[in-house]
Structure 1
Amino acid sequence: MTTVMTRTTARVVVPIILVVAISLFLQGHSHPGGGFIGGVLTVAAFALIYIAYNLDYLEDGVLGREVEKEESIGEHRTVAAYRRLFMFGLVVLVASTFSGMLLGDPVLSQYHRSIHLPLFGEIELASALVFDVGIFCIVVGGLLTVFSVVGAE
């Protein structure tokens, strides 16, 4: 049973955690941060929601997943969705790792391009962001799978 104070704190802190996670994720290719820490912070925000409310609220209310009680945990559709996210991240990670070889460059080669956006000015795009997307999906998919399996028991 959680208190009103815990739920109120979660409502205030979770958006802050998610904004910091997105910030660290987006700047990770050129500053400390990246897909791993962004994914860990995202899952930490979801864990705080799980602690303050419950697993069904997290999966149904926040993540928009339909919760079905009669299925075993190994066949649960939510766990399968997290595993698909994990596998998608793995495919993106491997593809971005070896994409440089298709262009005749070494493995894990990075490519940079700057573009000018009217309101934001010069924005640097880096291929390392694709790598970070893969890491992010692996971390979020893997840790949410663990939370769902452990939380359902």
Structure 2
Amino acid sequence: MTTTIMRTTARVTVPVVLVVAISLFLQGHNLPGGGFIGGVLTAAAFVLIYVAYDLDYLESGVLGREVEHGTSVFEQRTVTAYRRILLAGLVVVLASGFGGMLIGDPFLTQGYVHLEGVPIYREVELASALLFDLGVYLVVVGSVLTIVSVVSAE
């Protein structure tokens, strides 16, 4: 059972942590940061929700999944979902690495495109490293949440 102070702190802190995680993720292909630290912060936000409330609230209230109380099937389904996120991240990382090879460049060669006329930003540079960072992000989030779920079930 957690306190009202902990729950209130989580409600205030989690959105800030998620915004910082997205910011670090998006700047990662040009500056230090990226998929790893963004994934760690995102997983930390989910862990904070888990600590402040519980796994049932995280699954039903935040992720919108049905909760089967008192069964290990629920825990297995949760861990399986997190492992799928991890595997999706691995697929994205490998796909981004082989993408350059399709056009004759070495493995993990980075390319970029300039988009003009984008509302608010006017000009945006999209790099293929962003896909790699997305894969790393998914691997980190999936693995940390899998570890937390397995350890908390014990």
TM-score, with normalisation over the residues of structure 1? 0.93
For the residues of structure 1 that align with 2:56 and 2:114, how far apart are their CA atoms?
Answer: 43
Indicate the larger mover: 124-133 or 92-101.
92-101
Tell me how far 1:25 sits from its aligned partner: 0.4
Per-residue CA deviation, residues 54-96 of structure 1 (Å, 9 max, x unaligned), is 11111221122223332357x7211111111111111111111
Q: Alignment identity in percent? A: 65
- 1:86 partnered with 2:90: no
User: Aligned AA for 2:152?
Assistant: G
Q: Describe the SS at the equivalent of 2:126.
A: strand
Alignment correspondent of 1:127: 128
Gaps of 5+ in 2: none
Q: How does 1:9-48 map to 2 (within 5 A)?
A: 9-48=9-48
For the residues of structure 2 that align with 1:33 and 1:16, how far apart are their CA atoms?
Answer: 17
For the residues of structure 2 that align with 1:97 and 1:118, how far apart are their CA atoms?
Answer: 30
For the residues of structure 2 that align with 1:87 and 1:5, how far apart are their CA atoms?
Answer: 36
Contact in 2 for aligned 1:55/1:152 (Cα 8 Å):
no
Alignment correspondent of 2:2: 2
User: Aligned AA for 2:28?
Assistant: G
For the residues of structure 2 that align with 1:81 and 1:8, how far apart are their CA atoms?
Answer: 28
Alignment correspondent of 1:107: 107
Q: Describe the SS at the equivalent of 2:133.
A: helix
Structure 1 residue runs of 4 or more that deviate by more than 2 Å after TM superposition: 65-73
User: Aligned AA for 1:141?
Assistant: G
Alignment correspondent of 1:97: 97
- What CA RMSD, in Å, does the superposition of the two structures yield over aligned residues? 1.4
User: Aligned AA for 2:6?
Assistant: T
For the residues of structure 1 that align with 2:49 and 2:60, how far apart are their CA atoms?
Answer: 12
Q: Describe the SS at the equivalent of 1:125.
A: strand
Gaps of 5+ in 1: none
